[in-house]
Structure 1
Amino acid sequence: MENIEWLRPARGVTYDVLAGGPDDGLPVLLVHGNCSSAEFWLPLIRRLPDGLRVVAPHLRGYGRSEAAPVDATRGLRDFADDVAALLDDRVLFPRGGPVVAAGHSMGCGVVMQMLVDHPGRFASVLLEAPLSPYGFGGTRDLDGTPTTADFAGTGGGGANPDFVARIEAADRSDEARTSPLSVLRSLYVADPASLGDDEQLLLTTMLSTAIGEDNYPGDSKPADSWPFFGPGDRGVLNAMAPNHFNVADALVDAAQKPPIVWVRGERDVIVSDTSLFDRAYLGSIGAVPDWPGADACPPQPMVGQTRAVLQRYAASGGSYREIVYDNCGHSPHVERPAEFAAELLSLVDTRPTDREHL
């Protein structure tokens, strides 16, 4: 599928958007995750049929989109409202909606927020390695109970400063474990060989991340509880912190409930009940000192939380399927592109055709 690059406005932000396929094709929206860009979807887009209208925006602060500030106090709504505005753009979506939507990692949070705040926009949804509906880090059980009142250990202070500096310096080396290329190989996928000829392309998407307190990683505030930092009010990581992003109950109570397919890799180390990005889990394995113990600060059960919320979603009138790929990490559409494309196309094939366009 040939992709055309468009510069389009959305809520005062200039977005760079990849769009391909005929104007009258069934619309498919792809929302990328953190430290990547729309081009992270290219291994999938190449496998999609030409008859679809596929649209993949670079979110604000990623790719070639404007690095507009992210107001973390709104959770992921800055992203979600921007993408909802793009859905109204008839240059990108000549046919209108509803659309089939797929999100990856943080992008799933954007899609979930849109499902809550912008009902009727989605015919069906594919969530790939989604962050928990209760946010990232700082919760202790399947009900999303905050671990501490100050949400310690979450937000912008959790980013590795050397990794952040290497993104800002556009470091393409693999000389350190914290270099973006090393992180791509070891944490984004289970098998670095799965990156193949796309390795440098995918690295470029990581290096496109805008760095700063208004973007990635965001600001941080001191906390009284271990590990003694908490979420700030600006930037990407704070937008996913559980004090700012929690859509669990709203998702269950959503006015319209499109079918959801949840795809994840069994060896995902980013979104996991044993996440290497969760300070509580790192403390439990001795990687961060002075962990106060499992009673005071247990690891977040990210996968279990998502399953529990989707079970409630199904019980209240929706539906979902969980698909787990063995020997696969955080990026199934890169590691298992043919199987992932088949799952997405199954949603396209079952998409209602008699619903009124928005």
Structure 2
Amino acid sequence: MTQIPTITEARRVASDRLETRVLFAGPEDGVPVIFVHGNLSAATWWEETMLRLPEGYRAIAPDLRAYGEADPAAKVDATRGMRDFSDDLAALMDALGVTAAHMVGHSLGGAVLWQMLADHPGRVLSLTQVCPGAPQGFGGCKLDGTPCFPDNAGSGGGAVNPDLIALMKAQDRGDETPNHMRNVLNAFVWKPPFVPERIEDILTSALAQHVGEADYPGDMVTSDNWPGVAPGKLGPINALAPIHQADPMGFTKSGATVPILWLRGADDQVVADGSLFDLGTLGSVGAVPGWPGAEVFPPQPMIAQTEAALAAYEAGGGRVERVVLADCGHSPYLEQPAAFDAAFHDFLASM
């Protein structure tokens, strides 16, 4: 019987597109499962989940372009939406000799996997989407994904809190203000009072996000529309802007019918119909002055958007399972590992 290691192995892997750090666990001849991290994150976040996989699976988790220990010279062309990331994953699979894999995405990583299923459907055995970004993108759009303004003002790099960016540049690990990364994670990414046992490692990987006008938060342009800034053309946050999603429903048209597990926390504050990171929500509660009102700039209905896309996927013959964990925030695999594993492992076993 193949012996499964008790720690992950880290290696640098160079593909035709990107050199980055990749974590591995499980037998080399196991069925591959690729884990894709979210924003302000890195492969580190997945380590315990990787090690808990059932016997016979090979866990693989890369640091995405613009995150962690990925090549800092590799920038995200935001005008391609999620395609730089999904093409990087396909190239990594080529470099590792992986034809197809089960795939697990969290937050931004989930948005990457909608694109992966659209562009590389033959390489996906199944999708487990953990609090995924809506296929329509993030910020400043209506239910069908149409930007609230033609330039998609209110989304992209200009929507990121500049105080957080300054503290990230300083690599500040403190907790003196609400804008310190430690407090952002503890207040929003998991549901208080939960704090992960490995908070220091998780904080380190969050602060390893590549920062700058070409990275995070990316560039931005001034706008005559509220709140005065619109997405630029570089960096992962601009890549999430709805204006850069060429075909949000592409995965429903690719011919793919692989099973999808949509698993989320009931109390997620990040990807929600009233996300506290969406300027439509913040404007509606008076936190950002000058909000033009719900007719012009409503809070983005992220859950409703994902549900509509998955309903279309089901209508095309795809199978979708939905799991909502009570008393859980934006990181179910960290907050409720037993409940997460029960749903995820059962899903894998159903193939």
* Alignment TM-score, normalising by the size of structure 1: 0.93
- Give the match for residue 224 of structure 1: 224
Residue 48 (structure 1) shift: 2.1
Is 1:70 aligned with 2:76? Answer: yes
Q: Which residue of 2 aligns with 1:213?
A: 213
- Post-superposition CA distance 1:153-191 (Å, at most 9, x none): 000001111111111211111111000000110010012
Alignment of 1:69-108 (within 5 A): 69-90=75-96, 96-108=98-110
Q: Which amino acid aligns with 1:64?
A: E
How far the C-alpha of 1:146 sits from its partner, in A, is 2.2
**Offset of residue 297 of structure 1:** 1.1
Amino acid across the alignment from 1:34: N
Match for 1:307: what amino acid? E
Give the Cα–Cα distance (whole angstroms) in 2 for the partners of residues 194 and 326 of structure 1. 17
Superposed, which structure 2 residues align to 1:235-250 within 5 Å? Answer: 235-250=235-250
CA distance in 2, matches of 1:173, 1:246: 39
**Contact residue 18 and residue 55 of structure 1 kept, 8 A:** yes
Q: Secondary structure at the match of 1:63?
A: coil
Task: Describe the SS at the equivalent of 2:244.
Answer: coil
What's 2:169 paired with? 168
For the Cα contact (< 8 Å) 2:17–2:91, is it kept in 1? no
Q: Conserved in 2, the CA contact under 8 Å of 1:87 and 1:97?
A: yes
Q: Spell out the pairing of 1:147-296 with structure 2 (5 A cutoff).
A: 147-195=148-196, 197-296=197-296
Structure 2 unmatched ranges of 5 or more: 1-5
Amino acid at match of 2:106: H
In the other structure, the counterpart of 2:7 is 2
CA distance in 2: counterparts of 1:308 and 1:61, whole angstroms: 30
Q: Does the 8 Å contact 1:135/1:241 carry over to 2?
A: yes
Counterpart of 2:121 in 1: which secondary structure?
coil
* 1:29 paired residue number: 34
- How far has the Cα of 1:305 moved from its partner? 0.4
Candidates 45, 49, 69, aligned match of 1:44: 49
Q: In structure 1, what is the Cα distance between the partners aligned to 2:48 and 2:169?
A: 25
SS at match of 2:109: helix
Decide which moves more: 63-72 or 298-307.
63-72
Structure 2: distance between partners of 1:11 and 1:192:
43
Cα contact 1:188–1:330 (8 A) shared by 2: yes
> 1:194 Cα deviation (Å)?
4.2
> Please, which of 56, 60, 65 is the counterpart of residue 60 of structure 1?
65
SS of 2:261 mapped into structure 1: strand
Give 1:132's aligned residue. Answer: 134
Q: Distance in 1 between matches of 2:348 and 2:322?
A: 17
% identical aligned pairs = 44
Q: CA RMSD in A?
A: 1.3
CA–CA separation in structure 2 for the residues paired with 1:33 and 1:78: 15
**Partner Cα separation in structure 2 for residue 12 and residue 124 of structure 1:** 24
For 2:219 and 2:200, the matched residues in 1 are separated by: 29
CA distance in 2, matches of 1:79, 1:278: 23
Q: How far apart in 1 are the matches of 2:33 and 2:43?
A: 13
Cα shift readout 1:74-126 (whole Å, capped 9, x = no counterpart): 11111111111111123xx5xx3321100000001111111111121111110
Determine the C-alpha separation between the residues in 2 that align with 1:213 and 1:51: 43
Deviation at 1:5, TM superposition (A): 1.1
Number of equivalent positions: 345
**How much does 1:9 deviate?**
1.0
* CA deviation string 1:220-244 (max 9, x = no partner): 0112211111110111110000011
What amino acid is aligned across from residue 318 of structure 2 in structure 1? G
Question: What is the letter of the counterpart of residue 81 of structure 1?
Answer: D
Query: Which letter does structure 1 place at the counterpart of 2:110?
Result: C
1:356 corresponds in structure 2 to: none
Question: Residue 10 of structure 1 contacts residue 83 of structure 1 at CA under 8 Å; is this kept in 2?
Answer: no
Q: Deviations over 1:280-304 (max 9, x none)?
A: 1100000000111111111110000
Measured after TM superposition, the shift of residue 50 of structure 1 is 4.6
Deviation at 1:247, TM superposition (A): 3.9
- Of residues 110, 113, 117, the one that matches 1:111 is 113
Q: Distance in 1 between matches of 2:137 and 2:296?
A: 19
Which whole-Å CA distance do the structure 2 matches of 1:166 and 1:308 have between them? 38
Tell me the distance in 2 between the aligned counterparts of 1:272 and 1:180. Answer: 21
8 Å CA contact 2:66, 2:236 repeated in 1: no
**Could you state the TM-score of these two structures normalised by the residue count of structure 2?**
0.95
Rounded to whole Å, the distance in 1 between the matches of 2:239 and 2:79 is 7
Q: Please say if 1:20 is aligned against 2:22.
A: no
Say whether the 8 Å CA contact 1:112–1:247 is kept in structure 2: no
Measured in 1, the distance between the counterparts of 2:10 and 2:189 equals: 26
Alpha carbons 2:66, 2:235 under 8 Å: kept:
no
In 1: Cα distance, 2:315 partner to 2:267 partner? 28
Q: Say whether the 8 Å CA contact 1:133–1:246 is kept in structure 2.
A: no
